[in-house]
Structure 1
Amino acid sequence: MKVKEEEISEVDELLAELIERVAGEIGLVIYSMGLEEEFTDEQIANELGVEINEVRKALFALYEIGLASYRRVKDDDTGWIEYFWKLNYDKEKEVLLRELTKTKRNLEEKLKEEDQSVYYLCKNGCVKVSYEEAMEYNFMCPKCGGMLEYLDNTKAVEAIKKELEHLEKLIKLIS
């Protein structure tokens, strides 16, 4: 199967968004460095000119999603534990698939909820409540006292369906 260049860049973009969301800008910079060998957090902090705690936070975030691993070595002289990090570029596909699948499941739940429920919205935007809750509140907002109005969620349902189709396409592309 031949993969279009724009699809590859979309996957790269997704990976970058994921990394930035979980590990911040520093995490994205570290990951983008293309480090193949082991390194220490101190080396990266010095190279980037940032605080070592920022680097550690980003690396542990990358570790949490599976894009980094480490080994600990205790310095016999000082008693300090030093972390030697390695970026797991070979796990990008696995991590993206896991995250996209999780997002898909969440959207499917949201679609089910939106599809099976009738909602009312405060005209001032305070709350969105189910029909049952709106009845309990006598169709008055529990926060501001304004009227609760029927919410036509057709556009929201269509947007969720469209996003689910897009996710399916991405999942097939990555698989």
Structure 2
Amino acid sequence: MAFEDLLEDPVIQKYLHELVGPTGMPVAAAPPDGEVTDEELAEELGLELNDVRRALFILYENDLASYRRVRDEDSGWLTYLWTFQYDNIPENLEEELHRLLEGMEERRDYERDHQFYLCEVDSIRFEFEEAMEFGFECPECGSPLESMENSRLLESVEDRIAELRDELGVDRDREPAEA
């Protein structure tokens, strides 16, 4: 995928937005060619220097930007020259999907392994042990807690797991390793 196409991809735009937020998005969405200072970016984009620095640091933490320091011989000041490295975005997105898959598998196991009770008045869900501690009465309003069927939620989680496995090319029959 060409660099320009990469930045026009809505999934990648959303990923960058999730990383840097709305104030950092102008920095992430229009990376210059070559090296640039944070001051140059702030001036060019009309942003506060702190917002630019925050966005650059987040991009750096996610291996999407790097910098080199140059010391001014006269003043001794350090200047940071930033370079954007968006080639790592597809790999980062795949890692995110693997983390999401792992989280969904944990959620599936949690939903399978627990029995739940619901306060229909306050819409609060309790595990069996919590419900028992409260005498099967809602601690907020005193209403009786009703046994809750979570098969629709479990089915939704299973469907999402299947989608993620398909997208990642992970074997459907694979169960998470026991800890």
For 1:87, the aligned partner's letter is F
Q: Return the alpha-carbon distance in structure 2 between the equivalents of residues 171 and 14 of structure 1.
A: 15
| C-alpha contact (below 8 Å) 2:71/2:79 kept by paired residues | yes
| Residues 1:29 and 2:26 are matched in the alignment | yes
For 2:11, the aligned partner's letter is L
**Secondary structure, counterpart of 2:33 in structure 1:** coil
Quick one: which of 98, 105, 128 aligns to 1:108? 105
Structure 1 stretches lacking a partner, 5+ long: 1-7
Identity of aligned residues (%): 37
Q: Return the alpha-carbon distance in structure 2 between the equivalents of residues 170 and 82 of structure 1.
A: 42
| Residues 1:96 and 2:96 are matched in the alignment | no
Q: How does 1:32-47 map to 2 (within 5 A)?
A: 32-47=29-44
> In proportion to residue count, which structure has more helix?
1
Measured on the aligned residues, the alpha-carbon RMSD in Å equals 2.3
- Count of matched residue pairs: 164
Quick one: which of 125, 145, 148 aligns to 2:145? 148
**Secondary structure, counterpart of 1:101 in structure 2:** helix
| Residues 1:164 and 2:127 are matched in the alignment | no
Q: Return the alpha-carbon distance in structure 2 between the equivalents of residues 96 and 157 of structure 1.
A: 25
Quick one: which of 79, 104, 129 aligns to 1:132? 129
Instruction: Determine which structure has greater relative contact order: mean sequence separation of CA pairs < 8 Å that are 6+ residues apart, divided by chain length.
Output: 1
| C-alpha contact (below 8 Å) 1:126/1:141 kept by paired residues | no
| C-alpha contact (below 8 Å) 2:20/2:28 kept by paired residues | no
Quick one: which of 64, 70, 75 aligns to 2:67? 70
The match for 2:12 is 15
Structure 2 stretches lacking a partner, 5+ long: 170-179
Q: When the two structures are superposed, what TM-score results if normalisation uses the length of structure 2?
A: 0.80
| C-alpha contact (below 8 Å) 1:67/1:95 kept by paired residues | no
Larger Rg belongs to: 2
Task: Mark the CA change 1:147 to 1:81 in structure 2 (over 3 Å): closer, same or farther.
Answer: farther
